Amino acid sequence: EDQVTQSPEALRLQEGESSSLNCSYTVSGLRGLFWYRQDPGKGPEFLFTLYSAGEEKEKERLKATLTKKESFLHITAPKPEDSATYLCAVSEAMGYQKVTFGTGTKLQVIP
């Protein structure tokens, strides 16, 4: 059974204090790993898709990396508006499009 584990569950950072969120996964044949941002009371907002180990993607203060066992979401010099829950999800196969989500990391950036 596919498993996705995110850590830490919650993270509190001072504005400007860089850090990383972790997403560990076990899946037979990774087809894609997704990162989303979710604000309270809203649907997840797409951030990145990673497909193979060694791949990296960046968007503003966020950078996502992927290895064969885990993915990291690096946040550089975060701002209060980066506060949200960050969700990681994996897709196993193209034929069966089920996506397994982690429980998320709730990030709070203090001014």
Partner 1 sequence: GAVVSQHPSWVICKSGTSVKIECRSLDFQATTMFWYRQFPKQSLMLMATSNEGSKATYEQGVEKDKFLINHASLTLSTLTVTSAHPEDSSFYICSARDFRRSGNTIYFGEGSWLTVV
| Closest CB to partner 1 among residues 78, 105 | 105
Q: How far apart are CA 71 and CA 68, in angstroms?
A: 8
| Closest CB to partner 1 among residues 29, 43 | 43
Give the shortest CB-89-to-partner 1 separation in angstroms.
8
Nearest Cα to 33, choosing from 76, 8, 67? Answer: 67
Give the shortest CB-30-to-partner 1 separation in angstroms.
13
Nearest Cα to 64, choosing from 42, 88, 40, 81? Answer: 88
Q: Quote the strand ranges of 1-111, DSSP E.
A: 3-7, 10-14, 19-26, 32-38, 45-50, 56-59, 62-66, 70-75, 84-91, 99-101, 105-110
| Closest CB to partner 1 among residues 4, 109 | 4
Give the shortest CB-18-to-partner 1 separation in angstroms.
25
Give the shortest CB-46-to-partner 1 separation in angstroms.
6
Binding residues for partner 1, rule: CB under 8 A, are 32, 34, 36, 41-46, 49, 51, 87, 89, 91, 94, 97-99, 101-104
